[in-house]
Amino acid sequence: MRNRSLILMCLVALPLCAGCYPEPQAAVSGEVTYEGEPPPEPAAQVEVVAPSPGPEFVWVGGYHRWTGRGYVWVGGHYERRPHPGAVWAAAHWEVRGRAHVWVEGRWR
């Protein structure tokens, strides 16, 4: 009887833990490594750029983000410039030795 209770508790708890851990090679640092030549990105989607909410906002265009398993579309949006003169560096692949590293977009 005790073993059945333990199994039942594990079966109930398992779905609750399913989202607890990030994907392998999740972009904690904003980078994911791909050994060799990465798959080509799909064609960009057409976006309608809404009027800016203010002069301190910058439009960050949509892009296909590499997840470690494939590309997913991330829609464009406005971001508040963190300081005067800050420039947005778009997400991109970088060659490092024999690997390619997906670098998330960030402010410089």
pTM summary value: 0.64
The predicted pLDDT at position 24 comes to 30
Q: Locate 6 and state its tokens.
A: 């333990």
Asked whether the beta carbons of 65 and 91 are under 8 A apart, the reply is yes
The predicted pLDDT at position 56 comes to 93
The predicted pLDDT at position 2 comes to 53
User: Is the confidence at residue 7, as pLDDT, over 50?
Assistant: no
Q: What is the pLDDT of residues 45-94, one digit of tens each?
A: 999 999 999 999 999 999 999 988 899 999 999 999 999 999 999 999 99
Asked whether the beta carbons of 72 and 90 are under 8 A apart, the reply is no
Closest CA to 84 of 62, 60, 105, 56: 56
Which neighbouring-strand residues pair with 79?
Answer: 58
Q: Locate 72 and state its tokens.
A: 């997913």
